[in-house]
Structure 1
């Protein structure tokens, strides 16, 4: 399937359009490469918002983006992508600034612990801890409704946090899941894992390696939430969702399956399969018209869910 030409040109520009290396990179090399590409494509100068502050919540590093919009505003807790192995507050700074600006919302970006140094469930525990603190202290943030968002691994974490909040009877207004990792099962048979195994930046081999490093000594956790939100017993009562995936992504079909599972459980869902887009497309919105249009659509729908939700 054809990749968006602007994205294809971008991958060529940064030398990441070739076949996977014969030898798998080290974790340090993975992190350095992800950071290089993320910062290279970030908007320069950075998008303007009301304020940006680094802090810690429940012992976890966070970056808090506040809009110029006066309170009350929605609050969105955001979890970055990176296969649970790479990524940080800087790699998704541009994503969070746009979310803050376009939604008129306070965005709390979470620097959760990464594997393999901190395997499952450390990162998930950090995400729950930060979201719980924010939920209990909303007047200190936006003062309006609360939502979660994330991309890739962060999308899986956002889905898992939404499940945990549902199980605890704690309300969320909405969830935004971009190409989420929601099925780590060894029995995963989603066609996109084969169709898009190579040639589109993220490879299926990398996905499988990330899952192995993330789960560490608990491989059986792959068959249940919170590692695999798609495999939850029930998806009823979850927060309304915007779910968007790229056509050229090994995680495409599990994201679509998660949208279908929510729809089957009578959860309101905006579901999108974007032609020509690859994994990680949120970071490429200033480099591709197709990406910018996709991100605009997802954020517009997310904003509508936030604005229509009753205050908590």
Structure 2
């Protein structure tokens, strides 16, 4: 099907001459561009309300706690932002955390892990695992239910969430009840067809991915390492998963391969492909009814997994 009409104006803007590309130039410049596209353009009146927000220190990392109006104990979702491991922070994904908090009825801990190239792989992975351990240690002051700790993330954050789920299983904890992987980067080995099909014109490009990858890990690293490409890891015994993909996304096929591999390994898996949408649609719910519907559907699936736990 064609691109959903509600996101066509945004795509036209992103593809217009002179629009800065995220995957180009110096990382600091790209970070400023990304922040201008997210934080600076965001209308505070459109932000989803939550019961409270609190900035905290997650060990040495910045964190932000979002609390729902739901009476506790409630699940705790540890959220890792996207941005190709190079861009983004707690502020750029404030809207994502708010949506998950409200729609899932969970406390959300959004974590500002270290970014590449200053902190290359596996340092962001180590940060993510440390953050989940911190959440488990402080669960009484978070959601209050140690049996319902979930991990979530979009794009690069989805990669970190998937890797952490494998790491935690192998380390014997913390126990993770569910994972929400939003258009995740799951494989740096294979050239999947969607990378060529959606290489240009749909926000995230193939050249962006090459730039992100070059900044995240050096060529000496084996791209099949499961802590880099979770699709290449052992999947048995992982927590139930919601894997979300978009039709016009270079990462679509690798994400769907991960969902299929999880299911084949006996992991309860809900896979959603949203036709007509693009990478990053979680941030487009304010202006796109189709994106909002997809967002709500994704969060509802996580809520169902956690409430059935």
Normalising by the smaller structure, the TM-score range is over 0.9
Q: Please, which moves more after superposition, 191-200 or 43-52?
A: 43-52
Task: Give the TM-score normalised by structure 2.
Answer: 0.94
| Partner residue, 1:157 | 160
Deviation at 1:118, TM superposition (A): 0.9
Secondary structure of the residue that 1:276 maps to in structure 2?
Answer: strand
| Partner residue, 2:38 | 38
Secondary structure of the residue that 2:76 maps to in structure 1?
Answer: strand
- Please tell me whether the aligned partners of residues 51 and 66 of structure 1 are also in contact (alpha carbons under 8 angstroms): yes
| Partner residue, 1:224 | 225
Deviation at 1:121, TM superposition (A): 1.1
Equivalence map 1:162-177=2 (5 Å) = 162-170=165-173, 171-177=175-181
Deviation at 1:135, TM superposition (A): 1.2
Q: Please, which moves more after superposition, 107-116 or 16-25?
A: 16-25
Separation (CA, whole Å) in 2 of partners of 1:267 and 1:124? 22
Secondary structure of the residue that 2:82 maps to in structure 1?
Answer: coil
Equivalence map 1:29-68=2 (5 Å) = 29-39=29-39, 42=42, 44-45=44-45, 46-68=47-69
Task: Give the TM-score normalised by structure 1.
Answer: 0.93
Q: Please, which moves more after superposition, 249-258 or 63-72?
A: 63-72
| Partner residue, 1:248 | 248
Separation (CA, whole Å) in 2 of partners of 1:282 and 1:139? 29
Which segments of 5 or more consecutive residues in structure 1 lack a partner in the other structure?
Answer: none
| Partner residue, 1:4 | 4
Q: Please, which moves more after superposition, 134-143 or 123-132?
A: 134-143
- Please tell me whether the aligned partners of residues 74 and 106 of structure 1 are also in contact (alpha carbons under 8 angstroms): yes
Which segments of 5 or more consecutive residues in structure 2 lack a partner in the other structure?
Answer: none
Deviation at 1:92, TM superposition (A): 0.6
Deviation track 1:182-205 (CA, whole Å, cap 9, x = no partner) reads 1112xx121001100101011101
- Please tell me whether the aligned partners of residues 178 and 305 of structure 2 are also in contact (alpha carbons under 8 angstroms): yes
Secondary structure of the residue that 1:75 maps to in structure 2?
Answer: strand
Equivalence map 1:123-138=2 (5 Å) = 123-138=124-139
Separation (CA, whole Å) in 2 of partners of 1:119 and 1:5? 38
RMSD over aligned Cα atoms: 1.7
